Amino acid sequence: MTPNSIIIEIRAGTGGEEASLFAQDLFKMYSKYGQSQDWPQKILDSYPSELGGYKNITLELKSRDAWPRLKYEAGVHRVQRIPATEKGGRIHTSTASVAVLPKTKEAQVQIRPQDLRTETYKASGAGGQYVNKRMTAIRITHLPTGVVVTSQTERSLQQNKENALSILGARILKKQQEKIDKELKGERRSQIGSAMRAEKIRTYNFPQNRITDHRIKKSWHNMEAIMNGKLAPIIKKLQQNLN
């Protein structure tokens, strides 16, 4: 069944501050693509970095078209470019990981209140400074699975709790689906699949104005347009080759 919404989690990987800036670029790319499709969207959680990037950011896109179009974005994305902080003009390589999760309906995943440990804290901004004097940020641990989620983007604790529970439901559903997939396909097939997901799926080479998807061995050269949300050519090729 096609979900009505998806949750995209973007996390800075190797590369320090440059990786956080790349995570921000990926967030803008998916957000602008969603805007071009008139999909309602909402930031569920975010942790900014010192220079205005994101250590991690979680975005919800609300459309039945979002999952079939963006599910293949999951994986490790690599960027090669000269960072703004680089004085010697050297090209750096950094990474960010993208997870694409179908948002659950309540009937799909049963989350019992007694299975949750909830902690509240003050929301923080870049550099760790507190940006809210009240305890509005929330951390929820699902005790049976050990899944931990947070949310601090909203001004009220209740809104952040709702966001966190949305992320939690999506992550638990993913775990359940992976377990079923493992049982159906066997241990060896599951391990191979996990290894493939851990490898880089795409490289963004700014000096050469080239984006390459390594799974289908295809490159595009309209880098600026793609980073501004013009993802249709990539999505089409991925659907043709990976569906």
CA-to-CA separations, 199 to 22, 99, 206, in angstroms, rounded: 18, 13, 20
Domains of the chain by range and CATH? 5-104+197-238 (3.30.70.1660), 113-185 (3.30.160.20)
Using 50, 70 and 90 to split pLDDT, how confident is the model at 182?
A: low
Using 50, 70 and 90 to split pLDDT, how confident is the model at 180?
A: low
Q: pLDDT by residue (tens digit) across 108-130?
A: 677 888 999 998 887 776 555 55
Q: Is residue 218 over pLDDT 90?
A: yes
Supply 145's token pair: 């699975």
* Maximum alpha-carbon separation in the chain: 55
Which are the contacts of 123, defined by CB distance < 8 A and separation ≥ 6?
Answer: 130, 131, 132, 136, 137, 152, 153
Using 50, 70 and 90 to split pLDDT, how confident is the model at 73?
A: very high
Q: What is the mean pLDDT of residues 213-228?
A: 94
Helix (H) or strand (E) holding 205: strand 200-205
CB-facing half-sphere around the CA of 52: CA atoms within 13 A? 4
Rounded distance between C-alpha atoms, residue 139 and residue 228, angstroms: 32
Task: Return the percentage of the chain with pLDDT > 70, whole number.
Answer: 84
Helix (H, G, I), strand (E, B) or coil at 120: strand
Using 50, 70 and 90 to split pLDDT, how confident is the model at 105?
A: low
Task: Return the percentage of the chain with pLDDT > 90, whole number.
Answer: 48
Out of 22-31, 63-72, 170-179, 202-211, least confident range: 170-179
Q: pLDDT by residue (tens digit) across 130-170?
A: 555 567 888 999 998 888 999 888 888 888 998 898 888 88
Using 50, 70 and 90 to split pLDDT, how confident is the model at 184?
A: low
Q: Mark 193-222 as b/e (b = at least 16 C-beta within 10 Å).
A: eeeeeeeebbbbbeeeeebbbebeeeebee
Q: Taking Cα atoms as reference points, which of 8, 6, 34 lies closest to residue 102? A: 6
Q: What is the mean pLDDT of residues 100-114?
A: 77
In this prediction, residue 88 carries a pLDDT of 73
Question: What are the helix (H) ranges across 89-231?
Answer: 157-185, 187-198, 223-227
In this prediction, residue 36 carries a pLDDT of 96
Which are the contacts of 237, defined by CB distance < 8 A and separation ≥ 6?
Answer: 213, 216, 218
Q: Taking Cα atoms as reference points, which of 102, 24, 23, 26 lies closest to residue 65? A: 102
In this prediction, residue 66 carries a pLDDT of 94
